[in-house]
């Protein structure tokens, strides 16, 4: 059995200090090799607790934010999750350790192909991915018990709320990317309306409608 990577241990200790208390989330972070999702020039920073650039002007999120959003989503091994914004695939790979199935949408074809190759390399079989407009969700697979949006929306998207089942949870950043003022929110769908919990300031790339030209 391989010895634990000291970089991973250091990262997990930092996440605990920052308030990530869910041991299943920490175990998922430990299990997914972040270096596979990081561009070659940044491999030496794969286990540093900050976001890193990837192709198409996107980023792989800070491990703390991945852990925080995953913890707030409250998934289990029976949960069906929609992820808007596959990116590198790192967040989807973490979610896949914890839930029944992840449906993930990416608007950049090169990113999607790279993420799908990483899922195959890691033999993760409970992720279904498509090229599409994440702002519209995935109505053919709705309703979802959980939705995670990994890009900043101007406001809570009604189309995504519609695809969330009653009692379901959505976690997403809301706010203008240009101003840098964004708030991570946890939305619970009620029989009538929604309940919103604010989780703190964040910085994400904007949620853009449509499929990117390649």
Joined together, the tokens standing for residue 212 give 């990117």
Closest CA to 126 of 149, 92, 155: 92
| Residues 38, 119: Cα–Cα separation, whole Å | 14
Q: How far apart are CA 34 and CA 83, in angstroms?
A: 18
Largest CA distance in the chain: 52
- Catalytic-residue membership of 88: no
Give me the catalytic one of 61, 88, 178, 179.
61
Contacts of 131 (CB under 8 A, 6+ apart): 105, 106, 107, 109, 112, 211
* Buried b / exposed e along 161-170 (16+ C-beta atoms within 10 A): bebbeeebbb
In angstroms, the first-to-last Cα distance of the chain is 43
Catalytic residues: 61
């Amino acid at each position: 059995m391989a010895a634990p990577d000291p970089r991973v241990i250091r990262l997990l200790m930092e996440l605990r200090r920052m308030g990530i208390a869910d041991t299943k989330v920490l175990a998922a972070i430990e299990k997914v090799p972040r270096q596979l999702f990081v561009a070659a020039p940044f491999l030496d920073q794969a286990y540093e607790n900050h976001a890193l650039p990837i192709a198409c002007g996107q980023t792989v999120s800070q491990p703390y934010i991945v852990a925080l959003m995953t913890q707030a989503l409250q998934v289990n091994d029976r949960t069906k999750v929609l992820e808007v914004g596959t990116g590198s695939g790192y967040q989807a790979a973490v979610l896949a350790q914890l839930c029944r199935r992840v449906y993930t949408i990416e608007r950049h074809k090169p990113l999607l192909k790279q993420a799908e190759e990483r899922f195959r390399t890691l033999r993760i079989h409970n992720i279904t991915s498509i090229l599409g407009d994440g702002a519209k969700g995935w109505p053919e697979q709705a309703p979802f018990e959980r939705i995670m949006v990994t890009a900043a929306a101007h406001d809570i998207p009604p189309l995504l709320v519609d695809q969330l089942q009653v009692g379901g949870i959505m976690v997403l950043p809301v706010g203008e990317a240009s101003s840098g003022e964004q708030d991570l929110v946890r939305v619970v769908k009620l029989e009538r309306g929604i309940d919103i919990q604010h989780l703190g300031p964040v910085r994400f790339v904007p949620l853009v409608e449509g499929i990117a030209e390649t």
